[in-house]
Structure 1
């Protein structure tokens, strides 16, 4: 259906561009029909070709192929960061920290999966994948390295404590982004639920009349 609409739109635009060029040429060439006709046809075909070429770069999800390639590469990098967090988690000796990192891992995994299904939602997760996620991974790896050292001073303790506190904020941020990504699915479910309720009510109405 979308392909048909794009084709009709391309014909409409091409035809109008051709007519405008033809009429303009007709007046500029002292009302000569043949040059006007050729100019109009040329403009129409050129416009149609350019629009068709652009449509060929659009994926079924409505994204340009270049955009889809970029999103795929960013999701690949996000998945690598996610794996780094999972590996680092196994080197943590604290159950509390295990839970904090697991909470982030779960949210990130769900975000990646959601964007894989709906690539157009990548814009909602982009800043998290590009900024917060890499910094969180670096912070976790440094935390794991320091927490496993045999010595510890006050400065190190404060750094470790601050890291533990910030990981809660990272987890909360990831979960907020995930909710934003899922908001369209929630809306679709609400619509489907409403339609189903209406359908069931309509089926009950004849029975009530009887």
Structure 2
């Protein structure tokens, strides 16, 4: 949604600018239509890129990170997006409700972590273990689980491996829950502070009960 909004903003700046430039060049070059159109297009592309650069700079400044850090985080997000797609492909092999529920929880947490970092890239440093360890392990295990689970005939060893993989995936789910919690811990602490402050304010302004008035006397 944010990416679409940013695109609309850039187009709202670029298109009117192109129209103005087109008329200015057209009347200053004795009505040369082709030259005017090419000039307007080049100018529009330049304005679009400048607008994108400025808007990105404002976003980076707001996030309190450098452009180099932002490029690094975007690179990791791009790699993570590919891994998440691989993870989601394994969902199609699910045949039992128990495993489907597990995969549903995994997908929900993974997408939440990804979307949080898209919106606030500085949170990346609070979830590095997710990107460098847990997501990789989860993708590999899910693909192996999918392969084994799809076999038409399963012997005792395959069934044992399926159960062990499912158990490990559950443990990994707990780990990525911790990753998500570490990303949100500051927000949770801030919320607790605000709640305590609000409760204190309410107590300060609350009318005294009859018993409290008696004690004051």
TM-score bracket for the superposition, by shorter chain length: 0.5 to 0.7
SS in 2 for 1:60: helix
Q: Name 1:113's counterpart in structure 2.
A: 115
Q: For residue 204 of structure 1, report the CA deviation from its aligned partner.
A: 3.7
Q: Name 2:87's counterpart in structure 1.
A: 85
Q: Name 2:22's counterpart in structure 1.
A: none
Q: Is the 8 A contact 1:114 1:182 kept in 2?
A: no
Q: Name 2:20's counterpart in structure 1.
A: none
In structure 2, what is the Cα distance between the partners aligned to 1:98 and 1:85? Answer: 13
Q: For residue 84 of structure 1, report the CA deviation from its aligned partner.
A: 2.3
Q: Is the 8 A contact 2:127 2:179 kept in 1?
A: yes
TM-score, structure 2 normalization: 0.62
Q: Name 2:128's counterpart in structure 1.
A: 126
In structure 2, what is the Cα distance between the partners aligned to 1:203 and 1:161? Answer: 58
Q: Is the 8 A contact 2:113 2:180 kept in 1?
A: yes
Q: Is the 8 A contact 1:115 1:122 kept in 2?
A: yes
In structure 2, what is the Cα distance between the partners aligned to 1:155 and 1:201? Answer: 64
Q: Name 1:195's counterpart in structure 2.
A: 197
- Cα RMSD (Å) of the superposition? 2.6
In structure 1, what is the Cα distance between the partners aligned to 2:82 and 2:187? Answer: 26
Counterpart of 2:156 (choices 144, 154, 157) is 154
1:104 matched to 2:106? yes
Structure 1: gaps (5+ residues): 1-55
In structure 2, what is the Cα distance between the partners aligned to 1:200 and 1:79? Answer: 46
Q: Is the 8 A contact 2:93 2:149 kept in 1?
A: no
In structure 1, what is the Cα distance between the partners aligned to 2:120 and 2:204? Answer: 34
In structure 1, what is the Cα distance between the partners aligned to 2:187 and 2:78? Answer: 23
Give per-residue Cα distances to partners, 1:148-205, cap 9 Å, x unaligned: 1122223222221210110110101011111111111111112222332333344446
In structure 2, what is the Cα distance between the partners aligned to 1:163 and 1:205? Answer: 60
Out of 67-76 and 109-118, give the one that drifted further.
109-118
Q: Is the 8 A contact 2:145 2:162 kept in 1?
A: yes
In structure 2, what is the Cα distance between the partners aligned to 1:190 and 1:96? Answer: 35
Q: Name 1:182's counterpart in structure 2.
A: 184
